[in-house]
Amino acid sequence: MTSACRCRLPNVDATTPAVLHLPVSLGRDEVAALCEDVRALLVSGVAEVVVCDASRTGPPALATVDALARLQLAARRAGGRIRLRHPAPALRALLDLAGLPIELEGQAEQGEPALGVEEAVEPGDPAL
C-alpha cells in the first residue's frame, strides 16, 4: 500500500523506516508539527515505525522527554510506534527516570530474541 504523504518526513517503503532528525531544541509549535507529520505518515500506511534520531539534540531536558512522549502518543494513536536512534546516555537515563518506555533502535521487539543471538542446544536435550 503506497499512499502519498504530505508530511515533511521522507517517503519510505516497508523495509526502510522514516527517520525524523530531532533538532537541538524543541518548541511547542515544532513538537505539534512533528507529531502531525508522524501521524500523517503512519495513517497513510507507508510506514509502521518512525525512527527518531536524537544525535543532534542538546543536553537532555524534560522538554526533550515531553517531546518524545508526545511523538510516541501520536504514533500509537495512528497505529504505529517510534524508535529512538543515537540517544545520549544522559537522555536514556532521563527517559528511564521519567518512566517513559521508548524502544531503542537495535533492541529486539517485545517477545522476539535479540538479533544475532542463537540459542545453544546440547546433544541429547529433549525437544520442547
pTM across the whole model: 0.71
CA distance 48 to 1: 12
CA distance 71 to 69: 5
Per the CB < 8 A criterion, the answer to whether 60 and 92 are in contact is no
- Tens-binned pLDDT, residue by residue, of the chain (128 aa): 344 444 455 444 556 778 888 888 888 888 999 999 999 989 988 788 999 999 988 888 888 999 999 999 999 999 999 999 999 999 999 999 999 999 998 765 554 554 444 555 567 666 66
Residues in the chain: 128
- Could you give the strand order of the β-sheet that contains 81-85, starting from the edge strand earlier in sequence? 18-21, 49-53, 81-85, 103-104
Determine the pLDDT at residue 41: 87
C-alpha cell at 77: 494513536
Domains by residue range for the chain, with CATH: 18-104 (3.30.750.24)
Determine the pLDDT at residue 11: 46
CA distance 6 to 116: 37
